[in-house]
Structure 1
Amino acid sequence: MLPRASSIRTGPFLFPRGSTAPGRWGTLSIMNSLETLLAAGQLAQAKTEAEKLLAKNPAHRDALVVMTKLSLVEGKLPQAEALLAKAEAQGATPETGLVRANIAAQKGQLAAALNAYQAVLALDPNRAEAHFGRGMMLIKQDKAPQALEALTHAVKLQPQQDVFRYRLGQVQLEAGKTEEGLATLREVITRQPRFVPAYLSLSHALSSQEKLVDARRVLEQGLKAVPNQPRLLASVTVLSMALRDLRTSYQAASALAASRPKDADAQANLAQLMLARGQIEQARHLCQTMASLGVSSESLKMAEATCFESQEPPAYDKAIAAYEQGMGISPDGWRAANNLGQLLLRIPAEPANTHLPRAVTVLEEATRRAPERPEPLLNLALAQARLGQEKKAKELVQKVLAMPLAEDTDIYQEATRLSQTLAKA
């Protein structure tokens, strides 16, 4: 699925300005100097220089604009608005207009932001940042044709600004211009080989077309340019698993875990792949190491539980305890509860139904946490059927079959078989 317009975000504009005629807007050299520091990421120095100017002249408009931008970067919206008001009191300029638009956008006031960008363009029709911001606001309002026009114009005005080009590629994909969008993202990668978001967006777009091999090649290309980049590694892991390439998934997961030694998700992902490869002891050691470091998650506890159940003989009591801990770590998570319910259904016991009441209780909790998921519902239906509660079981399995499930999926077929069995009961 391609990213929706609402997922495309804009932040404070710290891009370098486009070319402007000498002397325009007054203290151009000072403004350019401050903006250059911002564009280079030298925020502390930009702040120091702006504060020096304000110490001499508290109404220095250019310094106030820069301080406003820095406040936005720091997430201090009220402070930014107060600073901008002081700058605007001396008259509107394209600089104050861009910041005003950015503040409105951050507050979710799309119409106000769009109006502010258009006001900037009335003052300076060739201001690339204003065309860019206007395009981003238009796509958020589902006005794809106008957004594409604005973003295309921004790229023409500032072809060196690859952020503009990247967003244009995203919006082209959003608007259904798939080939154009793919070409634009590839161009960004060619121009900026270390631009990680472009690799991710291009790979995602190819995946949505079921071109999983091509999508993975893009990520591997990114990892050559930016070795061990966590987001690229995570995406390679997922794609390789989808391609049933356990070896590549394991390599990517290992690299990600090594680069993030205390990241619970990265370590849990590696543990699950170890289990898939039959490396039970390695997975158990990894889980216990993370626990000793105070790193834990629902997924890590689930992997630990699987290790205990895989022992010979199975350590069911420890597996149950691990699942319970996973449920406690993630109060809204349903997977540990669902897996615990499944475990209770398959533990050998005498009499046979010893664990069934508890399985029902746990699976009811799983369905409470995730009523939209078919897995706990189907497991709960199975537990109720084994308890002899055929009516409840039939109601639950019908809920599963009413969900939008593809008929060739395992869960749909299992639900169908259970429904047929209950119908004969």
Structure 2
Amino acid sequence: MSTPRFEALLKSGDVQQAREEAEGAFRRNPADRRALIALAKLAVLDGEAAKAESYLQKAAGGSAEDEVDVGLVRASLLMQRGEAGPAQALYSKLTQSQPPRAEAFYGLGFLLAEAGDNTAACAALERAVQLEPGGAVYHFQLARVLFALARLKEAFQHLEQSLRLNPGHVPSYLVFAIALQAGGELEAAEDILRQGLKVAPDEPHLLKALSNVLAGKGDFPGAVEAAETLARVQPDHPSALSNLARFRMAQRNFPEALALCRKLSERGQATSLSRSVEAMIYETQEPPDLKAAVAAWRSAMKLDPQDWGPANNLGLLLLTRMEGPEVQKQAQEALEEALRRAPEQPEPQLNLALVSAQLGDKARAKELTQALLSRGVSLAPELKEQAERLLKQLD
């Protein structure tokens, strides 16, 4: 039996045309199970779970192939609802179907990766790619898992294949650029982002990534230009305005930077970045406003519970520029939080050791300093020097 054209269109990503043809097939024959299943998939994409369920119920009782497709849509519905366990169990069951279905292995691999089991995810996604080499998204997700497994060469190969198959896939450009940037290949990262912007002009995520890469390269005018373009494309978006405020601060245009940040706060749209920009300006301006800086750092901490930077910067401000036993205790609390958020980062560990020593907790300070020095060559020379100096003072 030939594959309906709407199924091929849906697989290729042409959602609008697939929708039109599936709806046409359904109007001609309301019992057309392939059309019902396709419409259920489209309803899932639209976030209309009830409509998807309605289509699936009408499609029940078909061939073995139909039932596998119904199961795949049900699994994606479970995933959309956040029911990862049942979704994974259903995808795992569907991988046993004959003939094997790439979509089942992809769904299983995606959920395994989300759960942090990258080795098992890799095996499932490799099988999906093997079954359907033309599936761009399968190559993309496999590349992400391979990066997590530090199999960089293979990861880049699959990202390249993802872009060959779907040159308009923005996430592939972003992951590619992030990986290149992490490896210090800023020229290559810039190149891949500019390629992405050719196929998706003024795409916000690509513009923001480009501004960061150019800033890392030292191309400050280029970074500012990208940030300004992003703000024009998204004039009311908190992320775009926060990003522009960051660059205005770097240009020492404090009034405009603060105006952007306050605009976001007045709208109830402040971000961790916008509040961090405010804090840095309050610390740097003449005269400094340290109380306002402390309040801004605390706000930034609340707005992003994962980011260790604001907690570390608050602790450092309290530690180095303010006085009093209560201040030192607050610095310790902030730095403990920074270390909890990012135990792999050396800066909060060293700062916490310093404040622990000031508070007379030499045992804690020594423990932290020794743990820091045990990192060996991975520890930056300037941090190693500070840690060694502190350890001598503690002995």
* SS across alignment from 2:235: coil
Q: CA deviation at 1:230?
A: 1.7
Distance 2:348 2:150 in 1: 37
CA displacement, residues 336-378 of structure 1 (integer Å, 9 cap, x when unaligned): 3432332233337xxxxx4342232243144136422543443
Rounded Cα–Cα distance in structure 2 between residues aligned with 1:170 and 1:368: 29
Instruction: Find the aligned partners of 1:379 and 1:174 in 2 and give their Cα distance.
Output: 29
Conservation of the 8 A alpha-carbon contact between 1:405 and 1:412: no
- 1:261 aligned onto 2:235: yes
Aligned to 1:97: 68
Q: How many angstroms apart in 1 are the aligned matches of 2:233 and 2:308?
A: 28
Q: What's the CA shift for 1:300? A: 1.5
Matches within 5 A, 1:259-338: 259-330=233-304, 334-338=308-312
Do the aligned partners of residues 247 and 147 (structure 1) sit closer, same or farther apart at CA in structure 2, a change above 3 Å counting? same
User: Partners in 1 of 2:272 and 2:142 — Cα distance?
Assistant: 39
Cα contact 2:197–2:203 (8 A) shared by 1: yes
Unmatched 5+ stretches in structure 1: 1-19, 22-27, 123-129, 349-353
Alpha carbons of 1:62 and 1:384: their partners in 2 closer, same or farther (altered >3 Å)? closer
Whether 2:328 is the aligned partner of 1:359: answer yes
CA distance in 2, matches of 1:386, 1:168: 49
Shift of 1:37: 7.7
Structural mapping, 1:225-236, within 5 Å: 225-236=199-210
Aligned twin of 2:116: none
Residues 344 and 356 in structure 1, CA contact (< 8 A), matched pair in contact too: no
Deviation of residue 90 (structure 1)? Answer: 3.7
1:13 aligned residue? none
Q: Distance in 2 between matches of 1:137 and 1:99?
A: 16
Larger Rg: 1
8 Å contact from structure 2 (residues 40, 73) kept in 1: no
Counterpart Cα distance in 2 of 1:100 and 1:64: 13
CA distance in 1 between counterparts of 2:164 and 2:364 reads 59
Confirm whether residue 217 of structure 1 aligns to residue 191 of structure 2: yes
Aligned to 1:196: 170
CA contact 1:199–1:222 (8 Å) conserved in 2: yes
2:108 matches 1:131: no
Looking at structure 2, the residues matched to 197 and 329 of structure 1 have their Cα atoms a distance apart, in angstroms, of: 25
Deviating more after overlay: 404-413 vs 314-323: 404-413
Q: Tell me the alpha carbon deviations over residues 164-189 of structure 1, each in whole angstroms, 9 at most, x when there is no partner.
A: 56557667777887556545544554
CA contact (8 A) 1:64 1:86 kept: yes
Match of 1:127 in 2: none
The sequence identity of aligned pairs, in percent, is: 27
- The answer to whether the aligner puts 1:151 opposite 2:124 as a matched pair is no
Indicate the SS of the match to 2:201: coil
C-alpha distance in structure 2 between counterparts of 1:312 and 1:32, whole Å: 67
TM-score, normalised to structure 1, is: 0.70
3-state SS in 1 of match to 2:231: helix
C-alpha separation in 1, matches of 2:379 and 2:176: 30
Post-superposition offset of 1:100: 1.0
How far apart, CA to CA, are the structure 2 residues paired with 1:290 and 1:297?
A: 8
User: How big is the shift at 1:218?
Assistant: 0.9
Q: For each residue in 1:198-247, what CA deviation from the matched residue of structure 2 results, as whole angstroms up to 9, or x when unmatched? A: 32233344445543321221112212332221221222233334434434
**Residue matched to 1:379:** 351
Asked whether the 8 Å contact 1:203–1:215 carries over to 2, the reply is yes
Q: Which moved more, 1:356-365 or 1:203-212?
A: 203-212
- 1:102-124 deviations in whole A, cap 9, x for unaligned? 433635544642543553527xx
The answer to which structure, 1 or 2, has the higher relative contact order (CA under 8 A, 6+ apart) is: 1
Q: What are the superposed Cα offsets for residues 358-417 of structure 1, whole Å, 9 maximum, x if unpaired?
A: 232243144136422543443233234334554443344345445688222544443332
Question: Superposition RMSD on alpha carbons, in Å?
Answer: 4.0
Between the aligned partners of 2:146 and 2:365, the Cα distance in structure 1 is: 48
Give secondary structure in 1 for the equivalent of 2:205: helix
Please tell me the residue identity of whatever aligns with 1:154: E
Structure 2 matches for 1:22-37, cutoff 5 A? 32=5
- The letter of the residue matching 1:359 is Q
| SS in structure 2 at match of 1:312 | coil
Between the two proteins, the alignment pairs up a number of residues equal to 376
C-alpha change, 1:198 and 1:116, in structure 2 (3 Å) is same
CA distance in 2, matches of 1:368, 1:154: 46
**Distance apart, 1:71 and its partner CA:** 3.9
Separation in 2 of the partners of 1:311 and 1:224? 40
Structure 2: distance between partners of 1:171 and 1:325: 34
| CA 1:65–1:410: 2 relative to 1, 3 Å | same
For 1:78-112, what per-residue CA distance to the aligned partner results, in whole angstroms no more than 9, with x for missing partners?
774565355232443x2431231343363554464
Task: Measure the CA separation in 1 of the matches of 2:269 and 2:386.
Answer: 36
> Alpha-carbon deviation of 1:296?
0.9
Q: Distance in 2 between matches of 1:307 and 1:205?
A: 31
